[in-house]
Amino acid sequence: MDKNILLQTKIGDLFVTHPYTKDFFTDHLIPYIGKENKTIEDFFKYLDLEIIEDKAINIELFINSLVEYIELMSTYFVSEKETKNTVTIYPGLHKNGTPENFDFIEITKGEIISIVGPTGSGKSRLLADIEWAANGDTPTKRKILINGRTLEPHERFSASNKLVAQLSQNMNFVMDLSVYDFLDLHASSRMVEDKEDMIKKIFDKANHLAGEQFSKDTPITELSGGQSRALMIADTAILSKSPIILIDEIENAGIDRKKALELLVSEDKIVLMSTHDPILALMGDKRIVIKNGGIDKIIITTKEERNILGKLEELDKTMMSMRNKLRHGEKIIFEEEL
């Protein structure tokens, strides 16, 4: 926020547009009560010197800190006015320096895009370019637009308000919290309404995705790999404000992959996933094929491939059923033996 604009803003109006500033005034012992109709400039101009001395108020320092605080908090809360509906990828270079051969790739909200290619081909590099909204300043020289525009530096590199959330196979918690306390902490930091309902929704969805059930009292450090990933996917889908989700190879994550993708898409996320799994790849609306560090081609999933996907999913259900039997100490019996 511009400092001059802030000075001409009424205190009460500031509290309406930026509710968190009320606590900022209180924490700094600023006696604003009853003066909400005054501009910030007038308030401090006529503030009693005895009060200033008694409360050790440094007016210039307070105003500068307030400007910085508003800017910081504004990067934390994703603007409701600008829903992130599109990601546009403009071509860069292959590892050998030759240009990528496409005009642009546009991805819209609710789409699932799979990224495929050999190990080391550059799939993670593409995810990294999208995560940081590359502007020709990465090794690939690609340019990524969000909603048709290049992001400002504070949007690209904000630690608290990332437009992109990345989920990977390797997710390990280190905090000594229960599942409930973890969700409570995250929901509180987001200042969500109906916090208990939100916690329950995330918890229920996580158990819906996980191969093994867990309770709200379970310490998050004791969750299995599949359980922790299920919790983070549900948390990211429902509570995270990041509109773009990058998934890096979750085929061995120990969760119901189809349900996980359906959950993310149902929450209006843009989903891009790097994978070697044919089921995940065919779940995507398009496949971006990576070779030699660059985008080689874009394939739209065909009707025939969707039919193949159905057969693969049936095989996958059989495999999941066998895994569950193994977990519970049951014998594996093939269908023809029943």
Q: Are strands 105-108 and 86-90 parallel, antiparallel or unpaired?
A: antiparallel
Task: Please report the sign of the dihedral spanned by the C-alpha atoms of residue 151, residue 155, residue 159, residue 160.
Answer: negative
3-state secondary structure of 275: coil
Task: Return the biggest CA–CA distance within the chain.
Answer: 90
Among 114-123, 163-172, 285-294, the least confident range: 163-172
Q: Are strands 112-116 and 143-146 parallel, antiparallel or unpaired?
A: unpaired
Whether residue 229 contacts residue 254, with contact meaning beta carbons closer than 8 Å, is answered with: yes
Per-residue model confidence as pLDDT tens digits over 145-164: 988 888 887 777 765 556 77
Residue 84 pLDDT level (bands cut at 50, 70, 90)? low
pLDDT value of residue 97: 94
CATH topology of domain 86-173+224-301: Rossmann fold (3.40.50)
Kindly tell me if the per-residue pLDDT of 114 is higher than 80. yes
Whether residue 313 contacts residue 257, with contact meaning beta carbons closer than 8 Å, is answered with: no
State mean pLDDT over 2-11: 90
pLDDT value of residue 338: 41
Among 183-192, 224-233, 251-260, 267-276, the least confident range: 251-260
Among 70-79, 147-156, 203-212, 230-239, the least confident range: 70-79
CATH topology of domain 3-76: SP0561-like (1.10.3910)
Tokens of 246: 């990058």
Domain ranges of the chain: 3-76, 86-173+224-301
State mean pLDDT over 279-304: 93
pLDDT value of residue 99: 95
Chain centre to alpha carbon of residue 96: 32
- Taking the C-alpha atoms of 199, 205, 208 and 210 in order, what is their torsion angle to the nearest 10 degrees? -80
State mean pLDDT over 215-233: 89
Q: What is the mean pLDDT of the chain?
A: 85
Kindly tell me if the per-residue pLDDT of 182 is higher than 80. yes
The alpha helices in the chain, defined as continuous H runs, are 3-7, 11-17, 21-27, 40-45, 49-54, 59-76, 123-131, 153-156, 179-189, 195-209, 225-238, 257-266, 278-283, 303-327
Backbone phi and psi for residue 180, each to the nearest 5 degrees, phi listed first? -60, -45
Long-range contact set of residues 5-10: C-beta below 8 Å, sequence gap at least 24? 6/40, 6/63, 6/66, 6/67, 6/70, 7/39, 7/40, 7/41, 7/63, 8/39, 8/40, 8/41, 9/39, 9/40, 10/36, 10/37, 10/38, 10/39, 10/40
Q: How far apart are CA 87 and CA 147, in angstroms?
A: 6
Q: How far apart are CA 5 and CA 3, in angstroms?
A: 5
Task: Please report the sign of the dihedral spanned by the C-alpha atoms of residue 235, residue 264, residue 145, residue 113.
Answer: positive
Kindly tell me if the per-residue pLDDT of 173 is higher than 70. no
**Percent of the chain topping pLDDT 70:** 89
Domains 3-76 and 86-173+224-301 alike in fold = no
